[in-house]
Amino acid sequence: MTANVSLIRFQVHGDDRGSLIALENGHNLPFDVKRVYYIFGTKADVPRGFHAHRRLKQVLVAMSGSVTVKTEHNGKIETHLLNRSDEGLLIEGLVWREMHDFSPDCVLLVLADEYYNESDYIRDYELFKKEESR
Ligand code: T46
């Protein structure tokens, strides 16, 4: 699987009652979702993540509030401010990720193409770099 990080903008169905976004496997989501989790009740000064996945595909959406996601793959280091519920950060394959500066109201929704599997995690940065260079 080629490592990739990119932003996806979702179509908003809006009217005078408010907004609605529909996420559908294979349409505006580039994979079939097997797992959904969300991160909330975070603290601004407590980062999370600090790992890579070997094969997982995920889309991260800040449903409310904001978070800065730092990613690294193939020597490319980027920071992504997630603060819109109509935008998802697609992270595929061997990508190191860190989440910083959660706002107190942040609810970060994550859609994943696989069930939780601790053996897919690389939680050691040096090991990540070693796997990348293979
Ligand atoms: C990722 C970033 C964006 C489960 O039991 N099931 C799950 O599906 C997940 C994701 C986690 N857990 C357990 C494992 C740990 O005991 O929940 C606890 C916290 O997980 P972790 O420390 O890995 O959380 P984060 O916020 O550092 O990372 C998470 C995801 O694990 C990871 O895949 O890409 O969010």
Task: Grade residue 4 by pLDDT with cuts at 50, 70 and 90.
Answer: very high
Share of the chain above pLDDT 90, in %: 97
Q: How far is CA 108 from CA 15, 63, 111, 131, in A?
A: 25, 6, 10, 28
**What's the CA-to-centroid distance between 37 and ligand 1, angstroms?**
9
Nearest CA to ligand 1 atom 16: 118
- Candidates 60, 58, 6; CA nearest to 32 is 58
CATH of 4-132, one of 3.30.565.10, 2.60.120.10, 3.40.630.40, 3.40.50.720: 2.60.120.10
User: Is the overall model pTM greater than 0.75, yes or no?
Assistant: yes
Nearest CA to ligand 1 atom 27: 49
Task: Grade residue 44 by pLDDT with cuts at 50, 70 and 90.
Answer: confident
3-state secondary structure of 69: strand
Given 13, 27, 51, 73, the catalytic residue: 51
- Candidates 32, 3, 35, 30; CA nearest to 88 is 30
Task: Grade residue 81 by pLDDT with cuts at 50, 70 and 90.
Answer: very high
Q: Among the atoms of ligand 1, which is closest to the Cα of residue 99? A: 3
Indicate whether residue 125 lines ligand 1 (CB < 6 A). no
Where do the structural domains in the chain lie, given as residue ranges? 4-132
Q: Where are the extended beta strands (E) located within 1-134?
A: 4-9, 13-15, 18-20, 35-39, 48-53, 57-64, 67-73, 76-82, 87-92, 96-100, 107-112, 121-122
